[in-house]
A and B are shown apart, each in its own frame.
Chain A
C-alpha cells in the first residue's frame, strides 16, 4: 500500500502548493489593486486614524481634526469659519471623498507624500505617532473676510478673487452662497450631503474657480490692449471714428450703448470711462479675430491647464469666428466667458505693467514638525502686454474710477484703477445680467488686484450694474488688502 500512500502525500503537497501560489498571487500581484478598490475601507480608516495636517490662513489653521468615538474612524475633519474658506479648503469627507485643496494637497495633509518619507521613517523608529503635514495658503484673512461679509451682509450671490499683482499670490477667494464643509465630513452626514446637492443656489459650486460668466464690459480692457499693441489705436485720447449705434459688420444688426449718450466718435479713454459698446466693438473688429484671440490667450483665456494647484475651469474667447461674432466677443458678449479668477488675472497683469504672474494658492508645504518642504516661488505665466501698453491702460482705468463708472471704488490715499461690467445673459437677454467690477489698487509698496462678480436675480433689472453692486465689494477687499 506504500506506493499509493506516497502518491497521496504528493497530492496533499500539491494542494498546499496551490494554496501557496494563490496567496502569492493575491498578496503579491493583486495587493495594490485590492488596496485601491473603492469598496475597501482600509485606506479611509488609515487616513482618519491619525490627525490630518492643517490648512493655514494668516498663520492660523482654518481646519481642525475632531476626535470621534466611532467604531471605524478615530478622527473627522472640522473647519473654523467653514463657509468663508470653503472655496479654498474644499471638503474632506469619510463618505463623499474630497475636493479642492483637501484633495490636491492630500499627500501632504495625509503625511504620505514621498518627500515626507525620511521624516516618517524616523518617526516610526522613534515611535512618534504619524501626523499629516500642513499647507500654508496665500489667503489674506482680512481680504477674505471683507469680501465674504460684503456679499452676505448685502444678501448677494457671486464670487470674488483678489491677487497680489506682483507675485500672483491669491489673497482672497470667495464664493457665495457657501457651506460649512464640516457638515459633510463625517461618516453619517447623508442628509446634509443630499440637501446641499439639492439646493438650487448651489452652495457647493466654487464660483471663483469653477464657474464662467460672460465678462461683459470688463473684457474691454483686453480689447484696449489688443488695439494699442496692434496699432489700431495709437493715442488713447485721440478721437475715433465710431458711429452710434454701431452696425455689426456684414449685418444689419445694430449694437446700442447701454451707457447712452456721448459715444459718437469719442476717444478710447472716454469710451472706457463711460463704457461705450460701439467704440470697442468697432476696435475689436479692426483688430480682427486672430489678434483678439491671441491677446486674450496671453491674458490666460483658452487655457484648460491652469492649476493653482487646484484646477481652474477654462475661460473662453472663440477663435475662427466671423466678423460680427468677433465684434460682439470684443465687448465680452457672444461666447466670451471668464472665471472670476481669470478677470482678476487681467487686472493683475495690467497693474503689474503687463507681466502676468501665475496665480497660486499654496505658499508653503510643511511637515508636521513645521519643517518647510516646499515654498512656492512666484513664476511668470506670460507677458500679457508691453509695459507701455499696460501703463496706458492703467491711465484709462484710473480715469474710470476718478471720473467714470467706477467712482464707488475710490480709496483716499491710494491709486485705484477699475472697470465695471454688466454682462447680459440668458436667451435673448432674458435673465438678469451679471454685475462685474475688475480693479487694482496701489498704495506705497502694497498692491492688490480684484475681480468681483455679483449674480443678482432679486434686484430690479435696471439697478444692476457693476458700479452699484460689485464696486463697493471690490473697494472693501482692496482696502483690506492695503491695510486701510
Chain B
C-alpha cells in the first residue's frame, strides 16, 4: 500500500500500456556513462591478458582503446541524433560483449598452438568497425521501423534465397561438415546470420496481416484451439523449410533457430497456446525423422551423450569433451586471462567454442556474469516489445530478441554440453564477420523500435510520407 501512496500523483495507465506518457529524461547520459565502462573493462582485460602472456602491456593498447572508444562514441552520437529516446542499456552491453570478444580472440591468436590459424583479432576489429558503421547507417536511414513492414514479402523472398544459397555452393574442407557458408573468392559469409533479421521482418509482417485469421478461426478441441487446415499452410511451410536446411545444409542450429523464432512469434501474434504445442510436436517429429536418417545429426547426439569418450584414433576426447575440460579447469574463479589452455579445443576455439576459453579463464563467475549480460540484453529487447505501441513493432522486437536469445542458448548450450552441439556463433563474442555485422544491425533495429516506444508523446504516423534521407548536416 505504501508503494501506491508513494507513487501518488503519477497516473497509472491501463494494465496493457506499460509506458506512461511523461516528460522523463531520455537516459542518453546514462548510456554514455555505461559506454565508458563498456570500453574500459575490455581495455583492462586487454592489458591483463598482455601482462599474463608477455609480461608487458600490449603495444597496441592505446590504439585499441582509442579505436573502441571512437566506435562507441560514434554509435552513441548516432543514437543521440537519430533515436534519442532509445533504451540506454542495449548499446553499452553490445559494446562490452564485442570488446570482450575481441580480447579473447586476440588472446587465442597468441596461443602458439593455434598459430596455423590466421590472426583473427585484426579482422574482427575491422568487422566490428563495419558493424558499427552499419549500426549508424540503420540509425540514420531507417526513419521508422514500420517502414520495414512494406518489405514483408521481399524479405521473405530474400530470406529464402539466402537460406537456399549455401546448399548449392561447393563445400570447402574448412567448412567442417556444415554447409552454411557462401564463398566468394577468399571472402566468405554465413547467410544464416543475416537471415535472422530478414526472416524476423517477414514473419512480423506476415503474422501482422494474418493474425486474426490464425487466432480466431479455429475449432475448440479438448480445451485447445486447433487451427483450421488451411491456416496450417504457413507453419507447415516453415517447418518444411527448417527440415530442408537440416537435411541439405546439415545445420541443426539454423534450423532450430528459425523454427523456434517462428513458433514464438506465432504464439505472440495469436495469443494461442495451441500453436506452441503444435509447434513443439512438429519440431519433435521433424527432428526425430531427421535424426533417424542423418548420420551427421546422429553423431552430434552421440557426442553430446558421451562427450568424454576418447576418439577412436587415440587422439584424446572430442571437442565437446575438450570444452568441458576447459570449463572444469576454470573452476569457480578461472585461471585468469591468458593463463588457460583452451587452445586444446582445437580449430574452433576462436569461433564456436570461444565460450570454453571464457569459462576457463574467467571461471564460473565470469560465465555467470556473461550469461547475465546476454539475458539483460535480450530482456531489454523483449521489454521494448512490451512497450512498442504498434503490433508490427512488437512482433519484430519479439522476433529479433527471441532469435538472439535462442542463438545464445543454442550455442552456449552446445559448448557446455547442455544440448547437442550445433555450429553457431556466440553473438558479439565469436570470431566471424557476418555475425558481428548482423548483430550490430539487429541492435540498431531494436533501438529504433524502443525509441518510438519510449517517446513521451505518440508520434504522428510517418509511414505514409515519402522516405526522406537525412544527411548529418
- A residues with a Cβ closer than 8 A to B are 1-6, 8-9, 11-13, 15-16, 18-20, 22-24, 26-28, 30-35, 37, 39-42, 45, 71-72
Contact = CB atoms under 8 A, between A and B. Distances in A.
Interface string B247-274: 0000000000000000010011101000
Given A20-B368, A20-B371, A23-B359, A41 B267 contact: no
Contacts of A19: 371, 409, 412-413, 416, 418
A24 B413 CA distance: 13
Contact of B386 (A5, A22, A23): A5
Contacts of A27: 327-328, 330-332, 359, 363-364, 367
A195 B52 CA distance: 42
Interface stretch (B68-76, B82-90, B286-294, B317-325): B317-325
Given A8-B398, A26-B417, 20 more contacts: A1-B391, A5-B394, A8-B267, A9-B379, A16-B405, A18-B409, A19-B371, A20-B371, A22-B413, A23-B368, A23-B416, A27-B364, A28-B364, A31-B329, A31-B331, A35-B325, A37-B308, A37-B325, A39-B321, A41-B341
A34 B356 CA distance: 14
A243 B47 CA distance: 91
Nearest to A4: B268
Interface residues of B, number: 54
B382 interface: yes
Nearest to B344: A41
A192 B324 CA distance: 33
Please name the 9 residue pairs, one residue from A and one from B, whose CB atoms are nearest each other, closest first: A34-B328, A27-B364, A15-B409, A12-B405, A31-B328, A22-B418, A4-B268, A16-B375, A9-B382
Contacts of B391: 1
A6 B391 CA distance: 15
B385 A5 contact: yes
Nearest to A33: B328
B267 A4 contact: yes
A11 B329 CA distance: 31
Contacts of A16: 371-372, 374-375, 405, 408-409
Q: Is the interface of B mostly helix, strand, loop or mixed?
A: helix
Interface of B: 16, 18, 112-113, 264, 267-269, 271, 308, 310, 316-317, 321, 324-325, 327-332, 341, 344, 359, 363-364, 367-368, 371-372, 374-375, 378-379, 382-383, 385-386, 391, 394-395, 398, 401-402, 405-406, 408-409, 412-413, 416-418
Contacts of B271: 1, 3-4
A2 B16 CA distance: 7
19 contacts: A2-B16, A4-B267, A8-B402, A13-B375, A15-B408, A15-B409, A16-B405, A18-B418, A28-B332, A30-B324, A31-B329, A34-B324, A34-B325, A34-B327, A34-B328, A39-B316, A40-B325, A41-B341, A42-B329
B379 A8 contact: no
A227 B378 CA distance: 90
Contacts of B112: 71
A26 B416 contact: yes
A40 B360 CA distance: 13
Given A4-B267, A19-B409, A31-B331, A39 B363 contact: no
Contacts of A71: 112-113
A22 B328 contact: no
B322 to A, nearest CB: 8
B371 A72 contact: no
A37 B409 CA distance: 27
B101 to A, nearest CB: 18
